Structure 1
Amino acid sequence: MATSRRVHSMTAFARTEQAAPFGTLQVEIRSVNQRYLEPHFRLHESLRDLEPVLRESLRARLARGKVECSVRFESAETAQAPAVNSVRLAAIADALSAIQQQVPSAVPPTTLELLNQPGVMETQHLDQEAIKAAAKTLFDQALDELINARAREGDKLAEMITTRLTAVSEQVATVRSLLPQILERQRAQLLERLEIAKTELDPQRLEAELVLVAQKADVDEELDRLTAHIEEVSHQLAQKGPKGRRLDFLMQELNREANTLSSKSVVAETTRCAVELKVLIEQMREQIQNIE
C-alpha cells in the first residue's frame, strides 16, 4: 500500500543554525500531538515583530499539533565594535598639518586625543532588516525539516496501522466463515433442549423460535459495517492532507461494531474474534492519536 509522504505524524523536531558577520541565528521547532494547531513562539527581543510572519508561515503548512518555536540570536562582537572614520581622521590630520606649519611650537595631540575627537570613532549598527530576513529564511528551512520528519514518522505509523487493519479484516473473515456453523449449532442446541424437556411445539411455534435464535446470532450487518469501515480507513490513509480526526472517528465506529459483535456472540469462537478485534482497534487508535 503506497502511503509514502501522505500520512504525517504530529511528533517531530528540527533545528537550523546560521553563522553570519552580524552574529549567529538558531531556530528550533518541536511539535507533539494536539487536537488543534497550537503554536508557541519564543523569539529574541530584536526579532519580536517577526512573530506574525512566522506564525502565518506555520499555519499555512501545518494543520494540527502543539508546536513550540524558538529563534535565538547572538550578535558577533565585531558587529558592534567601534571603527575609525577614515575620512574624518584624514580631515583632522590635514587641519593639524596646517596648524603645525603656522604654529611650529604647537604640541601635536596624542593618539588617544585624536580618537576622542568627535566623529573619529563610529559604532557600527546592525542591519536589523538583514537579520530578520535571515531569521525568516532559517525558520522556513527548519519548518521544511520538521515537515519531512513528520512525514517519515507518518510513514511508520501508516505501516503499523495497515498491518493491524489487515489483521482486523482477517478476524472479520473468520467470523463470517463461522456463521453457518454458528446458526446450525444454535438450531441443534434448541432442538436438544426441547428433546430433553420432552416438549412438543407445533411447527409454526418451532419455526418462530428458530427464527428468533437466528436473529440473535446473525451478525451479518455488523460484519458488513466493519468491512465498510476497514475500506474507508484504507481510503483515508491513501489521501493527501490532514486525516487524523477522520481516522479517529472511524476507530470509534469500528469499536462500536466490535462491541455489538461481542454482545451478540453465542459461541466462544465469535467472542474470541470480537476480543481480538477490540485489541487491534485500540492499538490503531493509539497510533492515530499522533496523526495530523
Structure 2
Amino acid sequence: MIRSMTGFASGKGEFGPHSWTWELRSVNGKGLDMRLRVPEWLTGLETALRAEMSKSLSRGNVTLSLRLSREETATELKLNEAAMTAALRALVQTQVMAEEHSVELSQPSAAELIAIKGMLDSGGELDDPAPLVQELKSEFGGLLVAFLDMRQTEGEALSTVLNGQLDLISELTSQAAALAEKRKDLMAETLRDNLARVLENAQGVDPDRVAQELALIAVKADITEEIDRLATHVTAARALLSQEGPVGRKLDFLMQEFNREANTLCSKSQNAELTAVGLELKAVIDQLREQVQNVE
C-alpha cells in the first residue's frame, strides 16, 4: 500500500523541570529534505533524530520542531552575591549623598533588593544534558510512529483516488479502441478513393509506389500500439499501487509514458470522436500525474 508524503504529528512531554512540545510535519518533495529545529545545547540529539527519520522516510520535505521550557522553582534560585554586594555598596553611597543634601531616604526591603534584575540566578541549563537527551530520544519514537501512521492513512485515501482515475483511463482507452475499430472501414474506403483520384490525374506514376505510400499513411494512422501500451501502463500502475515501500518515482516516470501515448493517439486520430476521447484521456492523465506527485 502506498504512503503519502503529507503528514503531521505532535506531542508533549516532561522530564524533571523540563517540559516540551514536538511538531513533525511534511509535504511532497522530489527527494528527502529534513529540517530540524532543536536546542543546540542538547548535544547529539539532532544527529540521533535525523538518523532515526532517515530509516523510515525516503521522500518529502520534513520539518521537526522541538520547543523546550524549564520550570523555575524557589529551591533552584540562587543569590548572585556579587550583584548583591554591588547593590549594597551603591545603596550606601546613595544614603551618604542624600544626607549631604539633607534628604531622607527610606531603606529598601529585602524583596525589593532581590527583585533587581540579575540578583537571582536560576542556574541556567542542566550541567549534564545527557539524561534529558536520552528521554527525548526515547519519546521521539512514538511521535514518529504517529507521523508514519498518518502518512499511511493519507496514502490509503490517495490510493483510492488513483485507482479511480486508472479506471477512467482504462474506460477511455476501451472507447478509443472501439472508435479505432469503427473507423477502419471508413479509412480504407478513403484511401481507395484517394488512390483512384491520384491514378486518374497522374501520368507515368507507378501504381505500386503510390499504393505503398498510401499503405504507409495507413500504418502511421494506426493506433493499435498506443491502445495496447496504455492498457499495459494501467496494469503496471495498479501493480505499483499494491506494492509495499516507496513507489512515487516509478509512478512519476509512468505518468510520462501515459502522456506520451495519449499525445500520439490524438495526433493519429483523424476522427473527431476519437480526438475528443484522446483529449479527455489527456485531461485525466494530467489529474493522475498531479496526484502521483504526493506519493512517497
TM-score, length-normalised on structure 1?
Answer: 0.77
- Is 2:267 aligned against 1:263? yes
Amino acid at match of 1:52: T
Contact 2:195 2:214 in 1 (8 A): no
Deviation at 1:195, TM superposition (A): 6.7
Match of 2:72 in 1: 77
Deviation at 1:37, TM superposition (A): 0.7
Aligned residue runs from structure 1 range 8-19, under 5 A: 8-19=3-14
- Is 2:163 aligned against 1:159? no
Amino acid at match of 2:250: R
Match of 2:99 in 1: none
Unaligned stretches of 5+ residues in structure 2: 79-109, 111-121
1:36–1:125: structure 2 CA closer, same or farther, 3 Å change rule? closer
- Is 2:149 aligned against 1:145? no
1:141–1:216: structure 2 CA closer, same or farther, 3 Å change rule? same
Contact 1:17 1:138 in 2 (8 A): no
Question: Deviation string for 1:137-185 (max 9, x for gaps)?
Answer: 2222221111111111111111111101011111111111222321111
Deviation at 1:80, TM superposition (A): 6.7
Aligned residues: 250
- Is 2:39 aligned against 1:44? yes
Contact 1:34 1:64 in 2 (8 A): yes
Amino acid at match of 1:263: S
- Is 2:172 aligned against 1:168? no
Match of 2:181 in 1: 180
Percent of paired sites with the same residue: 38
- The whole-number CA distance in structure 2 between the counterparts of 1:80 and 1:64 is 48
RMSD: 2.8
- The whole-number CA distance in structure 1 between the counterparts of 2:30 and 2:142 is 25
Aligned to 1:223, the other structure's residue is in SS state: helix
Contact 2:180 2:274 in 1 (8 A): no
Aligned to 1:72, the other structure's residue is in SS state: strand
Match of 2:113 in 1: none
Contact 1:81 1:124 in 2 (8 A): no
Deviation at 1:197, TM superposition (A): 7.8
Contact 2:15 2:132 in 1 (8 A): no
Match of 1:22 in 2: 17
Aligned residue runs from structure 1 range 68-147, under 5 A: 68-78=63-73, 81=76, 126=126, 128-147=129-148
Deviation at 1:10, TM superposition (A): 0.9
